[in-house]
Structure 1
Amino acid sequence: MSQNINLLRVLINCGEKAANIARVCRSNEELLALLVQEKTGSEANQRFEHDFKTLADVLIQETVKHEVGQLFPAMRDSILGEESTHFTNKLGHQITIAIGVTEAETAECLESVLDGQKTAAEALAAEVHMRVSIDTKLTGIPELCEQLDYSNLGIWIDPIDATAEYISGASILSDKPDIAAAGLDCVTVLIGVYERDSGVPVIGVVLQPFGYKLGEHDYSSSLYWGVCLPTLQAHNCSFEASDGQDKIGIVSGSEKSDIVQRLVDLDYDLVVAAGAGYKALKVISNDAEVYLLSKGSTFRWDTCAPQAILRALGGDIFDYADSIKQQLPVALKYKDPDTDSKECGTEWKRNANGLIAVRDLSVIKELLSNFKEN
């Protein structure tokens, strides 16, 4: 079946369905409050004092797994995500989220999470099982190679990147008109495909569920995709280059002060923003020349999708520490570990050495020459 189906189109449609689910879950403050669970133990990102997941995160992740797994059975066991499927709502009820064969089965599961709120459960189940065909409205989506080896492809999903921003809903602008500092603008859905043997990311889909505000509580998506295969490079990210007057660097608010100073010394005008996916997207869209993170606080699900798009544009995401140590650009890779390693928590999933994301490879050369090890 998969030979007649375009994986990119499937992922684009899954991404839009994910965005729909995110918007539905966010549209009701009382519902959202019930659906928020704090992560603990190995699930938590130690960078944050509080780390959260929502039903929207888990539901989106399982929806993508379900749909791609059905259409591409050779990939079913290699579709990985940030969230566990276990969810405990504010009432203390623990439920395993599962997508049913029918809409009614999914609604029944969700009703358990929602403490009997049948109408809300049915609305979410309808979104999960709805047929989404946003790809029919898009131009330029390429046909993929018929010889694509799906058994050698894996997927990393971050169903809602910047979950804290998603929960708060507040919008805070930076001093740059095209870069938000925090809020719903920084929320992204990230779906990245990688080669399991080489670890190279090859297809990326990134959506901003709240990319365009249509009304007070009404939004539509901004969608970005890229393909970088040996026989095909394509994308929908033809943004104009910056005017060259300002060199914009985008960083985390927790970035080390000496790293910040080095970038300032290189004449970068720095902007602090939330969300790893969003910061990488600002490099994709030419709003920033570089996204640099010296800490190991991102994971494979944060970077796989935007890295594939950047590769399609001639850029990449590099390992910060290894690149500086070797004075050569060392790209992030996603090779699967052995089974024993997978059982050792989340550490193998972490981009432990930090990252440097660029669209123009000349930028990485300048950075490496000025970020030599002491």
Structure 2
Amino acid sequence: MSGEDKPNLLRVIINCAEKAANIARTCRSNEELLGLLVQEKSGAEANERFEHDFKTLADVLIQETIKHEVGALFPAMKDNILGEESPNFTNQLGESVTIAVGESEEETANCLGSVLSGHDGAAGALAAEVHRVVSFENKKLGEIPELPEELDYDNLGIWIDPIDATAEYISGDTMFTDFPGITSTGLDCVTVLIGVYERDTGVPVIGVVAQPFGEKVEENMYNSSMFWGVSLSTLQAHNCEFEARDEGRRLGIFSSSENSDILQRFLDLGYEFAFSAGAGHKALKVITHEVDVYLLSKGSTFMWDTCAPQAILRALGGDILDFKASVAEQKAISLTYLAEDIESNSDWKRNAGGIIAVRDVSVVEELIAKLAEQ
């Protein structure tokens, strides 16, 4: 495929994120379907921070749809598209089914029908969304840049988080913080995260973050909010020009379970706090300039949580750092996505050292100096 004929990877990922958002909205709009789809995670798939963590068919279906679409257009990347979820699903009869996107809508509907155990209408509705031709357009999307012709697709991998903040997605209950526009729980916290990284360096280079429930049109009807960034050596671009909330105030965003000693260090530096759900959502608040920093001291995020927002932040002059390594070495140590120890380290996908997300790397020096104090 010539450079002239090759589709634009960024545009493809944006359209995939919108298709993912459509699937998420379709599932969420039908309470019976949502009830059928929820399964509790267990064992190695459970996130230790939650008593109950959930895997939904929507998660798996979105992930496999993105793999199918990107893999078809960029065959060199097909084997390096990774996600949070296992494609294996157990239906209500206890039968194990592997979710796969078929070549036709009928094939996909038949596969989904095996999971949904007789709910053929629901299976058909989901299959229709999977095979719908989607092209996301919105005035806030900005101009999609042409990617460099020399981009080596063999050297690119993708991390997908199909629905980040799954518990929020399922419950839908919204609670607000003291800061306008920042919710602590609710559908606003749900994101679709698709991040592209270089396999040889582990550096994230293209990111798309979508909020399926970003713009409420009317009761129970939503449009997506879409954010993207490109950070290549020959191209820096994004659609994230946002003014800071208030130059005279410092605001950090955290998990409600964050260590009180960490929070005290931020207080000492004059920061105010917001607490919110969803790693992708909290990173997005840094991207949109609504907060200055997102810190999580625990190793409870994974590569699929951070790859997409980190690529966008890098395009903005920011980054996502390894919290423990940066504090220990007293310099900014970026997260990377090298997969060298897959066989020897079953936990290689975890950001074990915690994370610090910033839009302005210049604030990091003061932060890590304070966080290193005994």
Q: What TM-score results when the alignment is normalised by the length of structure 1?
A: 0.97
The residue that corresponds to 2:368 in the other structure is 368
**8 Å CA contact 1:15, 1:205 repeated in 2:** yes
In structure 1, which of residues 38, 47, 50 is the aligned counterpart of residue 49 of structure 2? Answer: 47
The residue that corresponds to 1:232 in the other structure is 235
Deviations 1:93-135 (A, max 9, x none): 4311110011100000111111111111111101001110115
The residue that corresponds to 2:273 in the other structure is 270
Deviation at 1:362? 1.8
Q: Distance in 2 between matches of 1:338 and 1:29?
A: 42
1:197 matches 2:200: yes
SS at match of 1:108: helix
Deviation at 1:242? 2.8
SS at match of 1:348: coil
Q: Distance in 2 between matches of 1:256 and 1:65?
A: 37
Q: Distance in 2 between matches of 1:30 and 1:122?
A: 15
Deviations 1:253-272 (A, max 9, x none): 11111111111111111010
Q: Distance in 2 between matches of 1:218 and 1:193?
A: 30
Letter in 1 for 2:35: A
**8 Å CA contact 1:300, 1:334 repeated in 2:** yes
**8 Å CA contact 1:319, 1:330 repeated in 2:** yes
The residue that corresponds to 1:124 in the other structure is 126
1:217 matches 2:217: no
Letter in 1 for 2:106: A
Deviations 1:331-354 (A, max 9, x none): 00001224523xx53x10000000
**8 Å CA contact 1:82, 1:158 repeated in 2:** yes
Deviation at 1:91? 4.8
Q: Distance in 1 between matches of 2:350 and 2:306?
A: 10
Letter in 2 for 1:179: I
Deviation at 1:280? 0.2
Q: Distance in 2 between matches of 1:336 and 1:236?
A: 30
In structure 2, which of residues 84, 87, 90 is the aligned counterpart of residue 88 of structure 1? Answer: 90
Q: Distance in 2 between matches of 1:253 and 1:291?
A: 12
Q: Distance in 1 between matches of 2:187 and 2:95?
A: 28
Deviation at 1:139? 3.6
Question: How has the CA–CA distance of structure 1 residues 152 and 135 changed in structure 2, closer, same or farther, with 3 Å as cutoff?
Answer: farther
Q: Distance in 2 between matches of 1:2 and 1:30?
A: 47
Question: How has the CA–CA distance of structure 1 residues 106 and 2 changed in structure 2, closer, same or farther, with 3 Å as cutoff?
Answer: farther
After superposition, residues 349-368 of structure 1 pair within 5 angstroms as: 349-368=349-368
Q: What TM-score results when the alignment is normalised by the length of structure 2?
A: 0.97
1:6 matches 2:8: yes
Q: Distance in 1 between matches of 2:337 and 2:288?
A: 24
Q: Distance in 2 between matches of 1:373 and 1:42?
A: 35
**8 Å CA contact 2:92, 2:117 repeated in 1:** no
In structure 1, which of residues 260, 263, 268 is the aligned counterpart of residue 263 of structure 2? Answer: 260
1:299 matches 2:308: no
Deviations 1:47-76 (A, max 9, x none): 111111101000000000000000000000
Q: Distance in 2 between matches of 1:181 and 1:120?
A: 31
**8 Å CA contact 1:13, 1:135 repeated in 2:** no
Q: Distance in 2 between matches of 1:255 and 1:17?
A: 34
Deviations 1:225-279 (A, max 9, x none): 0000000000000001232232110000111111111111111110100000000
Tell me how many residue pairs correspond in the alignment.
371
After superposition, residues 49-68 of structure 1 pair within 5 angstroms as: 49-68=51-70
1:180 matches 2:205: no
**8 Å CA contact 1:98, 1:106 repeated in 2:** yes
Q: Distance in 1 between matches of 2:340 and 2:56?
A: 28
Q: Larger deviation: 223-232 or 166-175?
A: 166-175
- Measured on the aligned residues, the alpha-carbon RMSD in Å equals 1.3
**8 Å CA contact 2:342, 2:348 repeated in 1:** no
Question: How has the CA–CA distance of structure 1 residues 328 and 68 changed in structure 2, closer, same or farther, with 3 Å as cutoff?
Answer: same
Which runs of no fewer than 5 residues in structure 2 stay unpaired? none
Identity %: 68
Q: Distance in 1 between matches of 2:125 and 2:32?
A: 15
Question: How has the CA–CA distance of structure 1 residues 231 and 43 changed in structure 2, closer, same or farther, with 3 Å as cutoff?
Answer: same
Letter in 2 for 1:94: S
Q: Distance in 2 between matches of 1:12 and 1:2?
A: 22
Question: How has the CA–CA distance of structure 1 residues 250 and 160 changed in structure 2, closer, same or farther, with 3 Å as cutoff?
Answer: same
Letter in 1 for 2:363: V
Letter in 1 for 2:148: C
Which runs of no fewer than 5 residues in structure 1 stay unpaired? none
**8 Å CA contact 2:320, 2:355 repeated in 1:** yes
Runs of 4+ in 1 over 3 A off after TM superposition: 89-93, 135-139
